[in-house]
Amino acid sequence: MYIPPIHNIEWRFAVDTTKSEETNNLKFSVFPTNQHNDCFYLVEMDVAVVIENLESSDYSIKAQGNYEFSAMKRKLVLEIPGYEKIIDRNQGFFDDKKDEKTFKIHFTMVVKSTNLCDSVKMLDFYNSDESLYDVEVNVWGHTMYLNKKLISLQSPTLAELVETKTIAYSDIPFGVIFEDIHDFFQVIHGVDLKLNATNIEAFLKLANHLKVPRITEYCKEQMVVGVSGMTTNQVIYLAEKWSLWDVVPRKVSAAKSLADLKSQKWDLEKLNDNVITQITRRIFELD
């Protein structure tokens, strides 16, 4: 199972059945993979795991709770009872007619508070603070406290939506998850988050749909510097998809030497002629 990076932290998910026959439990482990032991970070989150019953969701097995990760506490273990039932072919947790027996497992993580290694302090949207927030909004069932005045300076459209005090699924573009919305509001409120391959397009969707030009510019700035998990060519394809025509010239101009240009790792064979022309022109300027 793949868990996308959440707030710059990469995660791994593992299942342990070595003692399941003895305990009748399945062990699910979640742990960060890119936070070092010697750096300070703290992540509090709500976690839920659902093993889906293919015949009826009423019989699906679920475990959930609130957990905290830190340099000293780097692993979450969820024990889910019912191992014998899950592997019983008559219980509906897998299709016994197929040669390969697979289970459907849903995993959700909702971050409540974060203090990261890179000194990015996330705002706490889940607890009221009159010195920071002036409106309470229900966002997909989560109560969030936001600054309406700050939002209105950046997007009258989003400000009107926040004014209703409810943001429904229908208000948000398809393909955007709750963590994207949370991080989107973090950036709107001034937190300087580094975007990555899993959330930058969600930011572009939200910025376009909610008419927040500052966030579109924020995405372009990240594209120029480089997006974690994306090659330079992938960044350019994304820029072209969203008609962000100034990303290529800005990225090329950001190279102050031939070494800088080489470090951008362009794959010229897969780029269109216009991009190649801009890169070639920059080579002659720097030579």
CB 180 within 8 A of CB 203: yes
Check whether residue 264 and residue 213 sit in a common domain.
Answer: no
The verdict on 31 and 105 lying in the same domain is: yes
| Mean pLDDT within 202-206 | 98
Residue 101 falls within a domain, yes or no?
A: yes
Number of domains in the chain: 3
Q: Say yes or no: 23 and 101 in one domain.
A: yes
3 in a structural domain: no
Output the pLDDT for position 154. Answer: 95
Of 225, 247, 271, the position where a domain reaches its end is 225
* Nearest-angstrom CA–CA distance, 196 and 86: 36
Q: In b/e form, how buried is each residue of 78-90, taking b as 16+ CB within 10 angstroms?
A: bebebbebbbeee
160 and 110, same domain (yes or no): no
Same-domain check for residues 47 and 75: yes
Q: Are residues 139 and 104 in the same domain?
A: no
Q: Are 196 and 167 in contact (CB under 8 A)?
A: no
* 107 and 56 co-located in one domain: yes
- The pLDDT tens digits of the residues spanning 161-180 come to 999 999 999 999 999 999 89
232 neighbors 267 (Cβ within 8 angstroms): yes
Residue 241 and residue 256 in one domain: yes
Q: What is the pLDDT of residue 134?
A: 92
In a domain, 1, yes or no: no
pTM for the whole structure: 0.65
Distance from C-alpha of 121 to C-alpha of 183, rounded to nearest angstrom = 12
Question: Does one domain contain both 157 and 208?
Answer: yes
pLDDT in tens, 65-90: 777 777 677 777 888 888 888 888 88
Q: What are phi and psi of 236, to 5 degrees?
A: -65, -40
Closest residue by Cα to residue 199 from 37, 5, 3, 1:
5
Confidence of residue 221 (pLDDT cuts 50, 70, 90): very high
pLDDT digits (tens, 9 = 90+) for 41-67: 677 778 888 888 888 888 888 888 777
| Whether residues 73 and 105 fall in one domain | yes
CB within 8 A of 278, min separation 6: which ones?
248, 249, 252
Domain that holds residue 194: 135-225
**Secondary structure letter of residue 196 according to DSSP:** B
Query: Could you give the CA distance from residue 287 to residue 280 in angstroms, rounded to a whole number?
Result: 11
Does 72 reside within a domain?
yes
Domain boundary among 115, 150, 176: 115
Residues 33 and 109 in one domain: yes
The answer as to whether 2 is a domain residue is: no
Rounded distance between C-alpha atoms, residue 53 and residue 122, angstroms? 37
Q: Is residue 200 part of a domain?
A: yes
Is the sign of the CA dihedral 142, 144, 149, 155 positive or negative? negative
- Residues 218, 185 within the same domain: yes
Give the model's pLDDT for residue 133: 92
Which position has the higher pLDDT, 124 or 11?
Answer: 124
Q: Encode pLDDT of 253-277 as tens digits.
A: 998 999 988 899 999 888 889 899 9
Q: Which of 205, 225, 245 is the last residue of a domain?
A: 225
Residue 151: count of CB within 10 angstroms of its CB: 25
CATH number for 188: 3.30.710.10
